[in-house]
């Protein structure tokens, strides 16, 4: 196995990285891996409390891929056991508990989605229930003795909850220790995470040392704001671009981001090299540039990354058909109207144009629903079986209703 020189590896790792703790220690680990011809074990923990990954997760997954490209071993930990506790990072209250079965179902989808970025040949998949589920109470006491309550309570979210007298459950205090023990179990040399995970990663260093192992180095990556431009990307906040979104939805959501986030999405979300990113930055700085044009390219690059170039071309063409030419796409789904009269809300919900009837009603009231181009604002509107028509919901969803 041939590894790039130490400096070249460090420079590559630094791209889109906030901190390397400590950098000189990582350099020594890399130097030793080259000398011993042995790849580093680079750990990334995934919290399968929800089934879908989004491009915010893609930032740190891409960093893990960077290590793979340098010849190292990616160790992806599916936290099926710790997800039952729930990561309290950034949480103002205790999260509802999940069952082990639920976390394993979600964990399976994580692996399938993560493989869009990671190389399977240099990838080790582990579930932390392999070791945490087998721990005895004596083992838990031993683990708990390696860290103090005061150290755990230094965590910012716990400090805020104590100040506001919001309850903190004992099991939440065990989350950082459980996650840290994962590093002991897989003997990680490096652990990756977002900046919001820094506390957990540092606990991992301490616990490894307490168990007689060499402490892992830490690499943290930037967090990506969601399409609203305010909150961290999260599916629960409805501001996420998910790996499983269709090409046209990835493209459409990319067009909706605030202008201030264009460069950050390019930098953290796409595969453009430094020279190409410099061109994007130059265009953004030019007052004559229309931000919309850069968003079109962004949508194209994101679809290409998570699908392929053909899908990217198709998504761009469909976007231009709908929003530029104001035309109806050729391949929209069809729905056969069997009854003489059907509530419009029912058609919208049954064809997955809205998740719930309440959402369908809201869209109608807000003027987001048209029939053959005519806006419908009556939430009780009834469709009569008189002629074929095209139903449009929101900006991108079409349905050809056949009589």
Q: Are 80 and 211 in contact (CB under 8 A)?
A: no
CATH of the domain at 168: 3.40.50.620
362 and 341 share one domain = yes
Strands of the 17-21 sheet, one edge to the other: 17-21, 217-221, 190-194, 41-46, 73-78, 123-127
Q: How far is CA 12 from CA 9, 223, 274, 321, in A?
A: 5, 19, 11, 40
316 and 202 share one domain = no
146 and 292 share one domain = no
* pLDDT recorded at residue 303: 97
* pLDDT recorded at residue 101: 79
398 and 314 share one domain = no
34 and 154 share one domain = yes
The yes-or-no verdict on residue 1 having pLDDT over 90 is: no
- CA 393 to CA 377: how far, in whole Å? 12
Q: How many domains does the chain have?
A: 3
129 and 251 share one domain = no
Residues contacting residue 268 through CB under 8 Å, at least 6 positions apart:
16, 59, 221, 222, 224
Residue 216 within a domain: yes
10 and 151 share one domain = yes
The yes-or-no verdict on residue 91 having pLDDT over 60 is: no
CATH of the domain at 294: 1.10.240.10
CATH of the domain at 390: 3.10.290.10
The yes-or-no verdict on residue 302 having pLDDT over 90 is: yes
Q: Which two tokens stand for residue 1?
A: 């196995």
Residue 135 within a domain: yes
pLDDT in tens, 132-164: 999 999 999 999 999 998 888 888 888 888 888
205 and 181 share one domain = yes
Counting Cα atoms < 13 Å in the Cβ hemisphere of 338 gives 1
79 and 48 share one domain = yes
Residue 230 within a domain: no
Residue 139 in 3-state DSSP?
helix
Residue 196 within a domain: yes
Report CA torsion sign: 224, 228, 231, 234. negative
What mean pLDDT value characterizes the chain? Answer: 91
pLDDT in tens, 311-362: 999 999 888 887 666 667 767 888 988 888 899 999 999 999 998 999 999 9
**Which structural domain, as residue segments, surrounds residue 373?**
334-402
Domain boundary among 297, 324, 351: 324
Residues contacting residue 42 through CB under 8 Å, at least 6 positions apart:
64, 67, 72, 73, 74, 75, 188, 189, 190, 191, 192
pLDDT in tens, 223-249: 999 999 999 999 888 899 999 999 999
Burial class (CB in 10 A: 0-12, 13-18, 19+), 169: middle
- Residue 92 pLDDT class (50, 70, 90 cuts): very low
Q: How many residues does the chain have?
A: 403
- CA 76 to CA 127: how far, in whole Å? 8
């Amino acid at each position: 196995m041939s590894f790039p020189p130490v400096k070249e590896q460090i420079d590559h790792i630094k791209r889109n990285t906030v901190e390397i703790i400590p950098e000189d220690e990582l350099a020594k680990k890399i130097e030793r891996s080259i000398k011993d011809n042995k790849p580093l074990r680079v750990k990334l923990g995934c919290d399968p409390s929800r089934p879908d990954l989004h491009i915010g997760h893609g930032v740190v997954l891409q960093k893990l891929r960077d290590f793979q490209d340098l010849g190292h071993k990616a160790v992806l930990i599916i936290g099926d056991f710790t997800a039952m506790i729930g990561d309290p990072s950034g949480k103002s209250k205790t999260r509802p508990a999940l069952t082990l079965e639920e976390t394993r179902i979600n964990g399976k989808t994580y692996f399938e989605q993560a493989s869009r970025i990671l190389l399977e040949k240099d990838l080790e998949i582990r579930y932390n229930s392999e070791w945490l589920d087998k721990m005895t109470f004596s083992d838990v006491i031993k683990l708990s003795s390696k860290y103090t309550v005061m150290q755990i309570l230094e965590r910012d979210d716990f400090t805020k909850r104590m100040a506001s007298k919001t309850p903190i459950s004992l099991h939440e205090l065990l989350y950082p220790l459980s996650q840290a023990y994962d590093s002991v179990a897989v003997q990680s040399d490096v652990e990756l995470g977002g900046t919001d995970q820094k506390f957990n990663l540092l606990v991992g260093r301490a616990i490894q040392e307490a168990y007689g192992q060499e402490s892992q180095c830490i690499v943290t990556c930037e967090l990506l704001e969601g399409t609203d431009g305010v909150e961290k990307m999260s599916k629960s906040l409805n501001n996420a671009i998910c790996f499983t979104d269709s090409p046209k939805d990835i493209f459409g959501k990319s067009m909706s981001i605030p202008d201030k986030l264009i460069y950050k999405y390019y930098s953290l979300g796409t595969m453009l090299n430094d020279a190409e990113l410099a061109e994007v930055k130059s265009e953004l700085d030019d007052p004559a540039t229309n931000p919309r044009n850069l968003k079109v390219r962004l949508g194209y690059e994101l679809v290409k990354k998570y699908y392929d170039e053909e899908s990217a071309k198709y998504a761009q063409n469909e976007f231009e058909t709908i929003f530029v030419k104001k035309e109806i796409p050729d391949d929209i789904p069809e729905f056969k109207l069997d009854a003489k009269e059907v509530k419009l809300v029912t058609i919208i919900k049954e064809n997955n144009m809205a998740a719930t009837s309440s959402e369908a009603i809201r869209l109608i009231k807000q003027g987001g629903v048209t029939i053959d181009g005519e806006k419908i604002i009556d939430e009780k509107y009834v469709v009569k079986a008189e002629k074929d028509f095209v139903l449009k919901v929101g900006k991108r969803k079409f349905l050809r209703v056949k009589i």
